[in-house]
């Protein structure tokens, strides 16, 4: 029987710390549900003590997720660990994940603690956490730059107090595959009670070696890999989940290990995260990039026609890019639409199906053929919807290369119609300016804006992403339409609604 390596996903914690990748409560829950569909073993839902919002998101994910362990990060203090447990205690399988730096440079300059004090603290907090929660993980921060003999001593000590997962991160992405293999091997050979714990690795990608180092650790005997969808994370990011999983699957002959991951959910997970954060995956990104299964050169195309294995070491279907032969259009009925949703892995309520079917029919009047990506875009837009204070009612934009652009925008605010006009250099700028003046939310700054096509063709839906700032926080909005101006304006309005939703949530938390 094959050895199973567990996948610990920290997209909602370490990944969300990446600039521009923050998510609101609803978005975190949607991502957590998708990670559950992906069959992640452990979902690190957040850092419970960081803020009331983080506590609430950890608590919500812990209460909702049934088929994965849910973890919260904590520093090595009783208050942090207690707060993590309070957020997690509703989980079917809770895990406290506490950390303490062990490298000389961190102990001297960050902790200002002696090695003896660090050892004592790590062991004391292991005992404290174990008395609260049945499953405890300890991370030796900056482990790859820690003196091996000291690290062995710390790991032995926390395992003696009931820690069952010991994480040895390459916190700054400094190590190399050969070094990391020997590092893990050293732990296995020199920590007397290591057989009572799982070795976990958490590798950053500062030198572009995150995935390679993670795979080397697996070969050396690591039983858990910590990673993120699309490799998001602080600085250069974390090791990418999809690359690790598909490397293990595709090169089973080398690694001889399996995971519990449903790889057909990889593409949807990547796509959902991009939509939530507004951070696109580069086209040539391994596994999930738009070009990952594209073959343009003549010699590649010839080989592919003869035998796909000439240039394709894995199939698009293996990550969830299915070619469904059922074509949907404006004459398709609800049963065909429901069958399509089921084939894409969605089980929705009757009310959700009816609402989506109405949106599908509107889209079908504008497009001859509806693709799977079109359906995915509709479902994702529906799942991520928040209460609307404002909605786009209609717009008229006059533009050209010989006149100033004028945008007339009409919004609905809690059912009432409000209208405004603005002049600017182009249609998008004029539209955004008019909306900004209508919503009466103070001065808003456009931080980022982009539009991508959902599919090919002149009738493709456009997905617009907008990020705005009120001077304190950045808010991300999304819009979908076959008209890119319509999509863009909807995205700006959605960003405003996101801002109001988050502000209202924070106010409620404070009360």
Nearest to 327 by CA among 316, 338, 317, 340: 340
pLDDT number for residue 511 = 53
Q: How far is CA 192 from CA 20, 116, 200, in A?
A: 43, 20, 17
Buried residues in 10-29 as b, exposed as e (16+ CB within 10 A): bbbbbbbbbeebbbbbbbbb
Per-residue tens of pLDDT for the chain, all 511 residues: 689 999 999 999 998 877 667 788 889 999 999 999 999 999 999 999 999 989 999 999 999 999 999 999 999 999 999 999 999 999 999 999 999 999 999 999 999 999 999 999 999 999 999 999 999 999 999 999 999 999 999 999 999 999 999 999 999 999 999 999 999 999 999 999 999 999 999 999 999 999 999 999 999 999 999 999 999 998 999 999 999 999 999 999 999 999 999 999 999 999 999 988 888 899 999 999 988 886 443 443 344 445 555 557 899 999 988 755 456 777 778 888 888 888 777 778 888 888 888 888 888 888 877 888 888 888 888 877 888 999 999 999 999 988 889 999 999 998 899 999 999 989 999 999 999 999 989 899 999 999 988 877 778 899 999 999 999 889 999 999 999 999 999 999 999 999 998 888 776 655 5
Tell me, letter by letter, the H, E, C secondary structure of 305-369.
HHCHHHCCCCCHHHHCCCCCCCCECCCCCHHHHHHHHHHCCCCCCHHHHHHHHHHHHHHHHHCCC
Q: Where are the beta strands (DSSP E) in 61-179?
A: 69-75, 94-101, 136-141, 165-167
Q: H helices of 161-297, where? A: 177-190, 210-220, 241-250, 252-255, 266-277
Nearest to 8 by CA among 72, 82, 100: 72
Q: How far is CA 127 from CA 82, 159, 197, 363, in A?
A: 13, 10, 15, 58
Nearest to 239 by CA among 255, 218, 254: 218
Specify the pTM.
0.85
Taking a C-beta distance cutoff of 8 angstroms, is the pair 467, 456 a contact? no
- Give the chain's largest Cα–Cα span: 79
Buried residues in 128-158 as b, exposed as e (16+ CB within 10 A): bbbebbebbbbbbbbbbbbeeebbbbbbbbb
Q: How far is CA 18 from CA 8, 279, 461, in A?
A: 18, 10, 29
Residue corresponding to tokens 């040539």:
284
Indicate the SS3 state at residue 45: strand
Indicate the SS3 state at residue 151: helix
In CATH terms, the fold of domain 3-277 is TIM Barrel (3.20.20)
Length of the chain: 511
Indicate the SS3 state at residue 21: coil
- The CATH homologous superfamily for domain 390-510 is Alpha-isopropylmalate synthase LeuA, regulatory domain (3.30.160.270)
pLDDT number for residue 293 = 81
């Amino acid at each position: 029987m094959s050895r199973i390596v567990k996948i610990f996903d920290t997209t909602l914690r370490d990944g969300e710390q990446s600039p521009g990748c923050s998510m609101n409560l609803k978005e975190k829950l949607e991502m957590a549900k998708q990670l559950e569909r992906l069959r992640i073993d452990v979902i690190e839902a957040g850092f419970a003590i960081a803020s009331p919002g983080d506590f609430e998101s950890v608590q919500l994910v812990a209460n909702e997720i049934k088929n994965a362990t849910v973890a919260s990060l904590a520093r090595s203090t009783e208050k942090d660990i207690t707060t993590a447990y309070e957020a997690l205690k509703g989980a079917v399988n809770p895990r406290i994940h506490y950390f303490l730096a062990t490298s000389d440079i961190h102990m001297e300059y960050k902790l200002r603690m002696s090695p003896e004090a660090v050892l004592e603290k790590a062991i004391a907090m292991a005992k404290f956490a174990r008395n609260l929660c049945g499953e405890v993980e300890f991370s030796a921060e900056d482990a790859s730059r820690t003196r091996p003999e000291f690290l062995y001593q710390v790991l032995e000590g926390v395992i003696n107090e009931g820690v069952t997962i010991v994480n040895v991160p390459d916190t700054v992405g400094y190590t190399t595959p050969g070094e990391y293999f020997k590092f893990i091997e050293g732990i296995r050979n020199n920590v007397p009670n290591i057989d009572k714990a799982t070795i976990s690795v958490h590798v950053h990608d500062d030198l572009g070696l995150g995935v390679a180092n993670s795979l080397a650790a697996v070969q050396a005997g690591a039983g858990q890999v910590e990673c993120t969808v699309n490799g998001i994370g602080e600085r250069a990011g974390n090791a990418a989940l999809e690359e690790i999983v598909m490397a293990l699957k595709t090169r089973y002959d080398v690694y001889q290990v399996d995971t519990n991951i449903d790889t057909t959910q990889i593409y949807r997970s990547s796509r959902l995260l991009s939509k939530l954060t507004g951070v696109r995956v580069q086209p040539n990104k391994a596994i999930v990039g738009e070009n990952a299964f594209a073959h343009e050169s003549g010699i590649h195309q010839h080989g592919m026609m003869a035998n796909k294995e000439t240039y394709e070491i894995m199939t698009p279907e293996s990550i969830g890019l299915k070619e469904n032969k059922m074509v949907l259009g404006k004459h398709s009925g609800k049963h065909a639409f429901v069958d399509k949703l089921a084939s894409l892995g969605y089980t929705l309520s009757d009310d959700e199906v009816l609402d989506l079917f109405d949106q599908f029919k509107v889209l079908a009047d504008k497009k001859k053929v509806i693709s799977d990506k079109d359906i995915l875009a509709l479902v994702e837009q529906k799942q991520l919807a928040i209460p609307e204070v404002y909605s786009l009612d209609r717009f008229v934009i006059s533009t050209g290369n010989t006149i100033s652009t004028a945008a007339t925008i009409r919004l609905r605010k809690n059912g009432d119609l409000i209208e405004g006009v603005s002049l600017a250099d182009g249609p998008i700028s004029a539209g955004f300016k008019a909306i900004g003046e209508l919503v009466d939310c103070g001065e808003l700054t456009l931080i980022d804006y982009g539009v991508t096509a959902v599919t090919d063709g002149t009738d493709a839906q456009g997905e617009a992403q907008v990020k705005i700032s009120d001077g304190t926080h950045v808010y991300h909005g999304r819009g979908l339409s076959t008209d890119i101006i319509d999509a863009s304006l909807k995205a700006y309005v959605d960003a405003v609604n996101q801002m109001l939703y988050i502000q209202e949530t924070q106010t409620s938390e404070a009360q």
